[in-house]
Structure 1
Amino acid sequence: MNTLITLIVPVYNVEPYIEECLTSLVQQTYPHLQIVIVNDGSKDRSREIAASFQKEDARITIVDKENGGLSDARNAGMAHIKGEYTAFVDSDDVLARDWVEKTLRAALLNRADIVQTNHVYMWPDKMLIDSRTQHHTLPFLLEREDAMRALIDNVYLKNFAWGKLYRSELIKDKPFPVGKLFEDMFWQHLVFHDATLVAYVQEALYGYRQREGSIIAAYSVKHMDILDGILDRCRFMKLYYPKLYEKQREEAVQMHLIHYKLLARKPFNKQWQRARRRIKREMVQGLLMQPVLSREEMIKQHRLFLKSPLLYIGREGIEKGRRAAGLTQTVSPLRPVTGEAGLI
């Protein structure tokens, strides 16, 4: 195989992690790479470290720009795509040495437009994997509607832009929305909509780093961008995938309930009050009014919320107290990575 693959790496103030990330790219077993590093106005030594790799490897290009956020950096990188296939790699993450080789082989052998591998969650002292992905019942190759259904489930096929190899023609005309958190939620379904076949590789070959300072570490009103994204996707499903519309609305209800719980922990001021009212309005008279819910627990939560958001929050507080006291048990899908599921 001599197909050129483009790897786009947005970089902003990741000095502690970028060396490990770039090392995992330049040491790929598949050599035909174009590595586009987008320096998004870093103020630490990230750019300097990237330049040291560029001196040693002619496959690397550095694009410098003023800070504009992750979406803007990815868009800048897409303007430089030369490869037949493209992947996004976050600059604090790592790839297994054969990630490119295995995803490209899956793409070429199956004529797949998108290939996603499984991934591990990396902390400084441990690596965990979603145990649900270890009992693989999903077909290896999915046609468009089945792939979109799996994207809504968000278990095997994830809503993240990273961890996937894309046929470049699919994404060149689809910029990420600038200024949004959770930009992938606005973007991923548009790409899947234009894909004929999507392949899934169960092997965990992508390392997704968990760290302080990431966009999910501290909740703010901007985090509600994800609600805009999931509502946008609901409207999209209603138009193009009516059979999946109620399934997507159910996921949207769940996401709104999660965010209402997060908002309930915030001080009672006008900003947070407006945010809570927004969620209630969407659930009572907006797009999520009278959804068809399939999960019993979701039905209970939804009914209680409609009856009284305060009662809903009170119930959640009681359940949290019971879990803390050991009266009930919850099972996390994450478990330690075994030797078979490691990155190397």
Structure 2
Amino acid sequence: MTKHELSVIVPLFNCERYIESCLTSIVKELAEGDELIVIDDGSTDRSAAHAQSAINGRENAIFVSKENGGVSSARNVGIDRSGAEYIMFVDADDLLIPGWRSKVDCALEQSDEADLVFIGNYGVGRNNCSIDGVIDAIIGLNADLMLQAGSSAWSKLFKLAAVNGPRARFNENIIHGEDALFNIEVLLNASRCSIQDASIYRYRMRETSATHTFSERFLASNLAYLDALRTLLSASPLFDERHIRACVDYSFVSSVFIYAKQLASLHDTRRIFEGTRLLYQNTEYAQLLSSIKVSGQSNLKERVSYFMTKRRLLALLACAYRLPLRYKSTEERWIEI
């Protein structure tokens, strides 16, 4: 089996509880010619010290310190420092499953060294997938192709040449959806992608993730995401205007549901109403709420969230979503991808 050189990029910020176990799961199986690149994004706890301890003495491990700029900024630094044939991303609170390195080489061999390889528990592998079909699956519009963690950066292998050719980078002004945009940009410039059935990644499910935590930046970030998505798809001959509109509309409906869940995470009812006013006072959101078409691909919660928000019932919706959170377990869970 051919060995392919690999750069594993780990962005790090205030993750002192998990970073050593994360890095240990990686360095145990790095092959000759591989490299581990850890980018500390201005951590204020002991994350940097724990990371350096975990990789101490390893010539194929690089530790980079930078001022805080967000996970996208850290990943971009990692890409710039990469020198291997393929790159992959691992979040600092997650793990790689024992045997991951041999599975990576197997996946690359079976994919005929595709530009982008999706790895997950799919039950079946697919080579030479339709680029537009995979992009639809990342967005959520392809019911025939369900990509586990398809919109995330991790559990994927990116050929560095396919990333640097169009100079694809993570959008540092977007806090939700930046991974999906990066994947789509690489795909639009790829000659071939592949889906491989293997489990290499353990994702730590935490209620403090960006999806579950309110951020006042979300609304502006989401508009930037929708605009960037439209720009990327419009530049490709694979998508006509009707298809692009469907992708943007679906993404907007999904984002309304995410925002309602973020509001529900707030313990202060007054802040829920303040977050509600932020959306309704935004003229761009008012226009989107009145103009988009709801796709049948949207699930029931997304459709309910959209229609209630359109009828100016977002605060009531957030309070309704808040009720089950009181009884929901806060224990961390693992998901194997």
TM-score scaled by length of structure 1: 0.75
Q: After superposition, where does 1:1-344 map in structure 2 within 5 Å?
A: 1-28=2-29, 30-109=31-110, 110-118=112-120, 136=123, 139-153=126-140, 155-156=146-147, 158-172=150-164, 173-182=167-176, 183-211=178-206, 213-224=208-219, 225-240=221-236, 241-242=239-240, 244-245=243-244, 246-260=246-260, 262-263=262-263, 267=270, 272-277=275-280, 281-282=283-284, 284-286=286-288, 289-291=291-293, 293-295=295-297, 297=300, 302-303=306-307, 305-306=309-310, 308-310=311-313
Which residue identity does 1:170 align to in structure 2?
Answer: A
The CA deviation at 1:74 is: 1.4
Q: Identify which range, 218-227 or 289-298, moves more after superposition.
A: 289-298
Q: Distance in 2 between matches of 1:35 and 1:101?
A: 16
The Cα offsets for residues 194-245 of structure 1, whole Å up to 9 and x where unpaired, read as 1222222233321112336543453121233245313431343345322632
- Verify the 8 A CA contact 1:11 1:42 in the aligned structure 2: yes
Structure 2 gaps, min length 5: 326-332
What is the DSSP-based 3-state SS (H/G/I as helix, E as strand, rest coil) of the residue aligned with 2:291?
Answer: coil
Q: Distance in 2 between matches of 1:140 and 1:294?
A: 28
TM-aligned CA distance change 1:238 to 1:16, over 3 Å:
same
The Cα offsets for residues 231-277 of structure 1, whole Å up to 9 and x where unpaired, read as 43134334532263214422322322442464477526895254221
The CA deviation at 1:51 is: 2.4
When the two chains are superposed, the root-mean-square deviation of aligned CA atoms in Å is 3.5
Q: Number of residues paired by the alignment? A: 310
TM-aligned CA distance change 1:288 to 1:97, over 3 Å:
farther
TM-score scaled by length of structure 2: 0.76
Which residue identity does 1:197 align to in structure 2?
Answer: R
Q: Distance in 1 between matches of 2:247 and 2:117?
A: 24
Q: Distance in 2 between matches of 1:255 and 1:300?
A: 13
What is the DSSP-based 3-state SS (H/G/I as helix, E as strand, rest coil) of the residue aligned with 1:196?
Answer: coil
Structure 1 gaps, min length 5: 119-132, 325-335
What is the DSSP-based 3-state SS (H/G/I as helix, E as strand, rest coil) of the residue aligned with 1:294?
Answer: coil
